[in-house]
Homo-oligomer: A and B are copies of this chain.
């Protein structure tokens, strides 16, 4: 039987440069940041990316201590008026510390991608960048927990 004991290694393909050096809960929407590919990569992995308006960025919450990752249910942001929730929140102390965000692509320049609305602090390791394809958007009508609407009110 498979268990969670199996592990794999991941390594950064790039690093975030952002004016925001500390994580905050809100107002990420206007932040302009960039992702620069790390050595040994040159710019060729980015070929063709400029034809897309948006990218999906998978990154690592590397400032989160792995021992503080919490998979059990707790109230989002510790807010007593919200219910106890497990991984169904997007908190950063989450499985494998993986962050995911869809950002507007402003431009590609040599080894660097310029984006708007990336909710990752300066220095964050980037594990993957995917082009946003509309076919991957949710199919069917969208339903969501009420608490999440309150939580996200000023996030972007």
Indicate with 1 or 0, residue by residue over A120-136, a CB within 8 angstroms of chain B CB atoms: 00010101111111111
- Contact-residue size bin, chain A (C-beta under 8 Å from the other chain): 35 or more
| A6 is an interface residue with CB less than 8 A from chain B | yes
Nearest B residue (CB) for A55: B88
CB pair A53–B127 under 8 Å, yes or no, is no
A interface with B by C-beta (< 8 Å): 1-13, 15, 29, 38-41, 44-49, 51-54, 56, 58, 60, 62, 71-73, 83-90, 94-98, 100-102, 104, 117, 123, 125, 127-146, 148, 152, 155-156
A-B residue pairs, 4 tightest by C-beta: A48-B85, A53-B143, A51-B145, A45-B86
CB pair A11–B96 under 8 Å, yes or no, is yes
Nearest B residue (CB) for A87: B45
Chain B residues positioned under 8 Å from A8 (CB to CB): 9-11, 60, 62, 97, 125
